Structure formats: structure tokens, C-alpha cells
């Protein structure tokens, strides 16, 4: 659970969730059609349930947010927590990549499309889009600011502020030592749900 006394900043996904919600809608539609045409059986029900869970985990559960001075990256069944002061670099390409010392943390929640990347490469060759580690975006995405740009620059700024607050020099042994505070947890209940449904599907198909 998130401590209510800690400031939380959530970053909406840049790639949209339409496909995920569409996937969730497909399951009930399949069951209704199967019921109408008399093809509703245990294997189909279990299979649809497994499909719905997988869609949720793959397309809708991943998220990125900041809790106080900690960056949280939630994946399918695991969650990474990275001290912002330990972050040395942030870049958004096809995925969000956060570098801390020798480690790399990624999330597909924030991403740039291939079209955006090609356009940026052309702009960079023309020298029309300089970038800086210390650049700060304060305007919220959606008001003339690209979502990927906003997240990239915002995380860079928050990492810089966290480092200064701790009095840690960039790329120093002290900063690298902060990686010891990074943690990874696994959501075993979700793992259990997937395993149970997968086993149940195999059993219903064999019976």
C-alpha cells in the first residue's frame, strides 16, 4: 500500500490502453455468443478467464509512478522500486529505460512510436532539438508537451533534486551505493491465478 503521507506522482501511459480494454471486452462477448449458439463449455469459460487475466497483466497492469523519492515501475507480476537519487540517466525510446549504476530498469508503459523516433532522428541531424540532462518540463503533458518528453524530463529533474537533497555527487561511489536500496517484489497472487487457470484449462481440455 502507498503511504498517504508520501507525495505520489503518477504518469499516464503514453501508448494508450484502448487495445487492453478492447481485449477485456472480447471475453464476455465470446461467452455470450457461445451461450447463444450452444457452445458454452467449461474449457471455454476457463480459457476466456485466462485470456482476460493475461490481457490485464500485459496491457493494463504495468504502470510508472514516483512515491516520494522512489521511482516505482510495475510490470506484469513484479514491481521495481528505485531510489531517484541513484538514477544516472533516463531515456524514452520504444520503452522507458532508467539507468542506475550498472543496472537498467525498463517499462513499456511510457514509449515513443517508431514514427516519433524517426522524426527526432531527422531533427537531431538538423540540430533543431537539443537535449539536456538538466532540462525540466513543468507543464503537464497534454498542454503542448509530448507525454514521453514530459516523463523523460520530469524523471531527470526529480532524480537531480533527489541527488542534491541527499548531498550525493553524480556518478560517485556514494550514488552507486544507493542501489542497495533498490528492491524488487513479485505479486505471487497474480502468479497463482495464472497457474491455477492454466492448469484448469489443461484439465478441462483433457476431460
List the one residue out of 111, 110, 130, 132 whose CA is nearest residue 120. Answer: 130
Contacts of 45 (CB under 8 A, 6+ apart): 31
pLDDT tens-place values along the chain, 207 residues long: 556 667 999 999 987 688 899 999 999 999 999 999 988 999 999 999 999 999 999 999 999 999 999 999 999 999 999 999 999 999 999 999 999 988 999 999 999 876 766 666 666 666 655 443 334 444 455 544 588 899 999 999 999 999 999 999 999 999 999 999 999 999 999 999 999 999 999 999 998
Provide the grid cell at 14: 503514453
Q: Sheet holding 103-107: strands in order across? A: 89-92, 96-100, 103-107
Dihedral (CA of 174, 176, 178, 181) sign = negative
What pTM value is reported for the model?
A: 0.84
* 141, 12 contact by CB (below 8 A): yes
DSSP classification of residue 159: H
pLDDT at residue number 124:
66
How many other C-beta atoms are found inside a 10 Å radius of the C-beta of residue 11?
20
For residue 193 the three cell numbers come to 491465478
What's the confidence (pLDDT) of residue 146?
A: 81
Q: In whole angstroms, how large is the CA radius of gyration of the chain?
A: 21
| C-beta separation of 75 from 62 below 8 A | yes
- pLDDT at position 14, please? 80
In this structure, are strands 63-67 and 78-83 parallel, antiparallel, or unpaired? unpaired
CA-CA distance, 72 to 66, in Å (whole number)?
6
> What is the per-residue pLDDT for 16?
65
DSSP output for 37-85: TT---HHHHHHHHHHHHHHIIIIIS-EEEEETTEEEEE-SSEEEEEEGG
Q: Which residues of 162-186 are buried (b: 16+ CB within 10 A; e: fewer)?
A: bbeeeebeeeeeebbebeeebeeee
The confidence score (pLDDT) of residue 38 equals 86
Amino acid at each position: 500500500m502507498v503511504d498517504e503521507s508520501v507525495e505520489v506522482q503518477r504518469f499516464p501511459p503514453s501508448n494508450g490502453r484502448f487495445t487492453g480494454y478492447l481485449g477485456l471486452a472480447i471475453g464476455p462477448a465470446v461467452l455470450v455468443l457461445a451461450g447463444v449458439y450452444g457452445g458454452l463449455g467449461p474449457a471455454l469459460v476457463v480459457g476466456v478467464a485466462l485470456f482476460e487475466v493475461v490481457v490485464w497483466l500485459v496491457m493494463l497492469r504495468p504502470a510508472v509512478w514516483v512515491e516520494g523519492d522512489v521511482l516505482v515501475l510495475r510490470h506484469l507480476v513484479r514491481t521495481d522500486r528505485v531510489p531517484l537519487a541513484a538514477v544516472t540517466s533516463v531515456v524514452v525510446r520504444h520503452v522507458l529505460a532508467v539507468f542506475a549504476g550498472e543496472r537498467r530498469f525498463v517499462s513499456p508503459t511510457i514509449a515513443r512510436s517508431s514514427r516519433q523516433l524517426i522524426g527526432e532522428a531527422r531533427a537531431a541531424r538538423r540540430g533543431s532539438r537539443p537535449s539536456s540532462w538538466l532540462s525540466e518540463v513543468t507543464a503537464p503533458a497534454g498542454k503542448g508537451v509530448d507525454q514521453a518528453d514530459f516523463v523523460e524530463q520530469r524523471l531527470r529533474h526529480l532524480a537531480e533534486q533527489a541527488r542534491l537533497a541527499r548531498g550525493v555527487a553524480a556518478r560517485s561511489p556514494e550514488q552507486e551505493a544507493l542501489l542497495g536500496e533498490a528492491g524488487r517484489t513479485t505479486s505471487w497472487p497474480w502468479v497463482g491465478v495464472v497457474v491455477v487457470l492454466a492448469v484448469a484449462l489443461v484439465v478441462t481440455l483433457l476431460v
